[in-house]
Chains A and B, each alone.
Chain A
Amino acid sequence: MTVDLAPVWLSLQLATATTVILLVLGTPLAWWLARSASWLTGPIAAVVALPLVLPPTVLGFYLLVALGPHGVIGGVTSSLGWGALAFTFPGLVIGSVIYSLPFVVRPIQDAFQAIGQGPLEAAATLRASRWDRFFSVTLPLSRRGYLTAATLGFAHTMGEFGVVLMIGGNIPGATRVLSIAIYDHVEALEYSQAHLLAGGMLLFSFMVLLGLHIINKRLERIGA
């Protein structure tokens, strides 16, 4: 029995890229949602939360249309000479970023809100500028929020299926990720291969959540 491990690596790459992008994009978004008094925070928060309630196929369908050669995003990339993004790895990354957005933004936003105004105002009276306050007070006090955000974003992307199938299809080496490979093996009645991949995924997810719990406990003890 041979198991092709390429889908595992592809899933890891996708999850890593997605998590990094989400942490970078999610930080200003979470900050704005946590601090702004604008009426727009309500609608924007609802949009961010949409992937939680939408069936992945609905999200996947709209993404497919948008990323295709005549779509909003695909049209732009096509005219730039990069080609449409549907059925490509970059397309998968865009889809995953949108799909996992609430899992990353929400914990960071909660962490920002939990800090409150006090420590930041104290930092301002101690001569720290806005950026200085963010890096010396906000970020370190949000460590646990970031840890949760990164873990959830990563694990959620590893396990995604519906959106990937809709916008990526099943192209080996480009879009054939772990969850799709398992589905394929089951379709082909290759249960032992499916067992191996599914069992590995189960173990991996369990280890990630256990590790998160342990690290969180430790951070709690040192008072962060």
Chain B
Amino acid sequence: MTGIQGRFRIRLGDFKLDVDFQLPGIGITALFGPSGAGKTAVLRCIAGLERAPGAYLEVNGERWHDDAAGLFLPTHRRALGYVFQEANLFPHLSVRRNLEYGWKRIPISDRQVAFDQATELLGVARLLDRSPARLSGGERQRVAIARALLTSPRLLLMDEPLAALDRGSKAEILPYLERMHEELSIPMLYVSHVPEEVARLADHMVLLEQGKVRAAGPLFDTINRLDLPLAHGDDAMTVIQAAVAGHDEQFRLTHLDFAGGRFFVARQPWPPGHPIRVRVHARDVSLTLRHQEHTSILNIFPVTIEELSEDNPSQLMVRVSAGGTPLLARVTRKSAAALGLRPGLTVYAQVKSVALME
């Protein structure tokens, strides 16, 4: 049986965690929610750092915790990697010996990730002889990630690995995480309270609220559900999977095609066929009844209105479908009334700006 099945009920001080989940055993799954939602608690239970009474946990066919059967594997006997918020490097060991710490402790036959592969993938090869005290925050976290990878984990747990870093270091690490996603087949659980990171990295997401699972599903279907808080407010967004279709050399544009249409963006270096995630903020999408000819906006597609929901007293969040691809648009109540927006109506979505997630 592939996938991760878990059930944890535990009281930690005033906080109560009560979750029951089934996650895919591949790709990156984001555990998303406000602070205090229980994201870290779930990760700690999965790692065995916290022991929830009566719990059950199975990871890709291997049972790690089943209190009903009296089974509880201690943390050091679970084939997992854990990246903490603080890198938690061993200050008395050099970077090299930090990396070797876990690597030496697994049987040689279990070593799926080679030492040079991990140091190259995370760009830490030139730091090997340094002491952790002499690394920057971003370097320290990259070493911590490489150290976890070198135990060839069957599940990689990341607890807000970017939270303790400044903006520059965050931007420095994200491309490494994307490379890991592309080049390794290790399933990852990624805890975050930042929608940006989730939109950029995750394939699947779990929304946690007050110790409970509020929603779970593939990223593209979950991030725009109007019944969830994620699809409301200024940062509400959709993520669309697109691919390079071609380039317009005269105007220096790149065409990105997705199921419901085509985006025109500034010229990109990638060849046709290159997949790319496109993020569209709801606040950058407007709706018109007719196709506007006289506008500077290039990205206009026909869409069908699926659902409307109040965002705040003066604005509505509208979910539309562009040939099956969901998109969010935020409009004022006044405009919605003037245009007669209602489910089933076909209108045109004008997208003012998009962000490419790479």
Seen from chain A, the residues whose Cβ lies within 8 Å of a Cβ on chain B are 118-119, 121-129, 132, 136-137, 140-141, 143, 222-224
Contact = CB atoms under 8 A, between A and B. Distances in A.
Contact of B151 (A127, A136, A222): A127
Nearest to A222: B131
A143 B92 CA distance: 10
Contacts of A122: 82, 84, 88-90, 144
A128 B91 contact: no
B88 to A, nearest CB: 4
B244 interface: no
Contacts of B77: 127
Interface of B: 47, 49, 74-77, 80-82, 84, 86, 88-92, 101-102, 105-106, 131-133, 144, 147-148, 151
Contacts of B132: 223
B85 to A, nearest CB: 10
Contact of A125 (B80, B90, B91, B106): B80
Nearest to A223: B133
Contact of A126 (B74, B86, B92, B151): B151
Contact of A123 (B74, B101, B106): B101
A129 B75 CA distance: 9
Nearest to A120: B88
B75 A125 contact: yes
Contacts of A127: 76-77, 102, 105-106, 151
A123 to B, nearest CB: 7
Contacts of A128: 76, 101, 105
A102 B89 CA distance: 31
A199 B233 CA distance: 79
A224 B94 CA distance: 11
Contacts of B101: 123, 126, 128, 136
5 contacts: A118-B88, A119-B91, A124-B75, A125-B49, A127-B105
Ranked nearest first, the 8 interchain pairs of A and B with the lowest CB-CB distance are A126-B102, A125-B82, A127-B105, A122-B88, A124-B75, A118-B88, A140-B92, A223-B133
Q: Most chain-A Cβ atoms within 10 A of its Cβ — which of B81, B90, B92, B106?
A: B92
Contact of B74 (A119, A124, A137, A222): A124
A129 B73 CA distance: 12
Given A122-B82, A122-B84, A141 B105 contact: no
Contact of B88 (A121, A129, A132, A140): A121
Contacts of A136: 101
B49 A124 contact: yes
Given A118-B84, A126-B151, A223 B49 contact: no
Contacts of A224: 91-92
Contacts of A126: 76, 101-102, 105, 147-148, 151
B214 to A, nearest CB: 28
Given A122-B88, A125-B148, A140-B92, 9 more contacts: A118-B86, A119-B88, A122-B90, A126-B101, A126-B102, A127-B106, A128-B105, A141-B90, A143-B92
Contacts of B75: 121, 124-125
B84 A121 contact: yes
Q: Most chain-A Cβ atoms within 10 A of its Cβ — which of B102, B131, B132?
A: B102
Nearest to B91: A223
Nearest to A121: B49
A59 to B, nearest CB: 38
A75 B171 CA distance: 72
Contacts of A118: 84, 86, 88
A217 to B, nearest CB: 16
A125 B47 contact: yes
A125 to B, nearest CB: 4
Nearest to B147: A126
Given A118-B88, A141-B91, A223-B91, A125 B81 contact: yes
Nearest to B110: A127
A121 B74 CA distance: 11
Nearest to A143: B92
B135 to A, nearest CB: 12
A127 B79 CA distance: 8
B308 to A, nearest CB: 46
Contacts of B105: 126-128, 132
